[in-house]
Amino acid sequence: MSAFGVQIPITFNSNDGFTMLKTIKRTVKQNFKMLLLTNPGERIMNPHYGVGIKKYLFENQIGGTTQSDILHAIETQTKKYLPIVKINQVLFAPMAANPNGLAMQITYTIPDLGIQDLIEFTI
């Protein structure tokens, strides 16, 4: 079976050599995750690419303006670099174990393919 790319982190697979992404859903999810985690200026030849979600980790207070900044960055970057993705909802929730942390859940669709998925992570 053909593949769309290599799964990151790279791991060995006895069938393909490396673990491969064999569905569009998994490929788009990985690309979306990379867009969120990449800091602007980090990607060679494309200094504007990336949301840089981890830079919000050290904000003094994760509140209304920080959440709206994060949402704006996600929407802007997704529209520019992953236009196939339509963001449906971004939910923020405080973390019980870490009052300075923030849990996020992004629900998105790929309208042209009828695929819906979500990404969850913490900062």
Kindly list the averaged pLDDT for each block of 10 residues, start to end, along the chain of length 123.
82 83 91 94 93 79 76 95 96 80 91 94 82
Q: For residue 107, tell me if it sits in a domain.
A: yes
CATH of the domain at 104: 3.10.450.40
Q: For residue 93, tell me if it sits in a domain.
A: yes
In the block, tokens 């998925």 appear at: 117
Domain that holds residue 75: 24-122
Beta carbons of 87 and 78 less than 8 angstroms apart: yes
Q: For residue 5, tell me if it sits in a domain.
A: no
Q: For residue 1, tell me if it sits in a domain.
A: no
CA separation for the pair 40, 32 (Å, rounded):
15
pTM of the shown model: 0.85
91 sits in the region (left: phi over 0; alpha: psi -120 to 50; else beta) called: beta
CA separation for the pair 87, 75 (Å, rounded):
7
Q: For residue 10, tell me if it sits in a domain.
A: no
Count CB neighbours of 85 within 10 A: 21
Q: For residue 12, tell me if it sits in a domain.
A: no
| Per-residue model confidence (pLDDT) at position 1 | 58
Count CB neighbours of 26 within 10 A: 16
Beta carbons of 36 and 54 less than 8 angstroms apart: no
Q: For residue 7, tell me if it sits in a domain.
A: no
| Per-residue model confidence (pLDDT) at position 29 | 94
Q: For residue 87, tell me if it sits in a domain.
A: yes
Q: What's the domain count of the chain?
A: 1
| Per-residue model confidence (pLDDT) at position 68 | 87
